[in-house]
Amino acid sequence: MRKNIVAGNWKMNTTVAEGVQLAREVESAVKAAGELKCEVIVGVPFTHLTSVKQEINIVKLSAENCADHKSGAYTGEVSAAMVASTGAEYVILGHSERRGYYNETIEVLKEKVDLALANGLKVIFCCGESLDERKNGVHFDVIKKEIEGSLFHLGAEAFAKIVIAYEPIWAIGTGETATAEQAQEIHAFIRGLLAEKYGNQLAQDTTILYGGSCKPSNAAELFAKPDIDGGLIGGASLKAADFMGIVTAF
Ligand code: PEP
């Protein structure tokens, strides 16, 4: 049976001290909440990984990116091995901000996925269409291309370490959420793609998250859909109370 997950993506927010405080608050709220119906992850900047790791136990740790090279003369880059050495369990790859602002192509992401998996990290792989792509009716094609191009070279054993996050670009940080029906339609489509490629069992076992202006007020409706297994949360992950409002929406 697949796992439900609520993962925060802090992006380029908080100093180390602020991040440590936020992680502390999330960990203690999760502890106080008792048995939860989802795994809780915080995705934090590279600089915060080691310090945040000291503050969490139930909550799992994710990086927001890793390099597309193994090691060497790539000034300023952070490798998958470095991320793994902090105790992080996950890495977010393919976020639309990285695809858009840093030209991360399908091919580059394929390299990153391979390096992350080779270093024992699980991958939260983001995909999603722009508003123009949705208006032009090519959103299914875009998502198919992103998933096929960066993930479908993996064997089934490796693919079991992948979590997919559907994040329509038009809903990220805009306050505009995809309706639960729109999200469900895409999640079912993605699960269908996985079933075609890897068979129904693996498709049923894969966690597919929704991301895009998810907040305590809309999380329950989204998570009630059969193919929505949780959320990747940007803005609302920066306040422990809001984040917990989503975590407890299951
Ligand atoms: C994100 O960037 O992953 C995201 C979902 O952001 P927000 O929740 O702020 O829309």
Could you report the per-residue pLDDT of 135-175, keeping only the tens digit for each? Answer: 999 999 999 999 999 999 999 999 999 999 999 999 998 98
> Which CATH fold would you assign to the domain 5-247?
TIM Barrel (3.20.20)
Q: What is the pLDDT of residue 81?
A: 98
Q: What is the mean pLDDT of the chain?
A: 97
Please choose, from the candidates 143, 156, 122, the residue with its C-alpha nearest in 3D space to the C-alpha of residue 43: 122
35 catalytic? Reply is: no
**What distance in angstroms lies between residue 19's CA and the mean position of ligand 1's atoms?**
17
Which protein residue has the closest C-alpha to ligand 1 atom 8? 234
167 catalytic? Reply is: yes
Check if 124 has its Cβ closer than 6 Å to any atom of ligand 1: no
Check if 234 has its Cβ closer than 6 Å to any atom of ligand 1: yes
Active-site residue, from 27, 48, 55, 95? 95
Is residue 92 pLDDT above 90, yes or no?
A: yes
Is residue 234 pLDDT above 90, yes or no?
A: yes
Report the percentage of the chain scoring pLDDT > 90.
Answer: 97
Q: What is the pLDDT of residue 151?
A: 98
**What distance in angstroms lies between residue 67's CA and the mean position of ligand 1's atoms?**
22
**What distance in angstroms lies between residue 72's CA and the mean position of ligand 1's atoms?**
32
Q: What is the pLDDT of residue 208?
A: 98
Please compute the mean of the pLDDT values over residues 119-143 and round it to a whole number: 97
- Going by the DSSP 8-state scheme, the letter that residue 92 receives in this structure is E
Residues 175, 74: Cα–Cα separation, whole Å: 36
Is residue 211 pLDDT above 90, yes or no?
A: yes
Residues 102, 98: Cα–Cα separation, whole Å: 5
Check if 120 has its Cβ closer than 6 Å to any atom of ligand 1: no
**What ligand 1 atom has the least distance to the C-alpha of 235?**
9
Please compute the mean of the pLDDT values over residues 198-218 and round it to a whole number: 97
Could you report the per-residue pLDDT of 8-28, keeping only the tens digit for each? Answer: 999 999 999 999 999 999 999
Is residue 74 pLDDT above 90, yes or no?
A: yes
Q: At what angle do helices 139-151 and 180-198 cross, to 10 degrees?
A: 40
Which contacts of 33-39 are long-range, i.e. CB under 8 A and separated by 24 or more positions?
33/244, 33/247, 33/248, 36/247, 36/248, 36/250, 37/4, 37/250, 38/3, 38/4, 38/5, 38/6, 38/230, 38/247, 38/250, 39/3, 39/4, 39/5, 39/6
**What ligand 1 atom has the least distance to the C-alpha of 167?**
5
Check if 43 has its Cβ closer than 6 Å to any atom of ligand 1: no
**What distance in angstroms lies between residue 211's CA and the mean position of ligand 1's atoms?**
6
Q: What is the pLDDT of residue 193?
A: 98
Confidence of residue 62 (pLDDT cuts 50, 70, 90): very high
Beta-carbon count within 10 A of 35 CB: 4
Please compute the mean of the pLDDT values over residues 165-189 and round it to a whole number: 95
Q: What is the pLDDT of residue 177?
A: 87
Residue 96, φ and ψ in degrees, nearest 5: -60, -25
Please compute the mean of the pLDDT values over residues 54-67 and round it to a whole number: 98
Is residue 1 pLDDT above 90, yes or no?
A: no
For the question of whether the overall pTM of this predicted structure is more than 0.85, the answer is yes
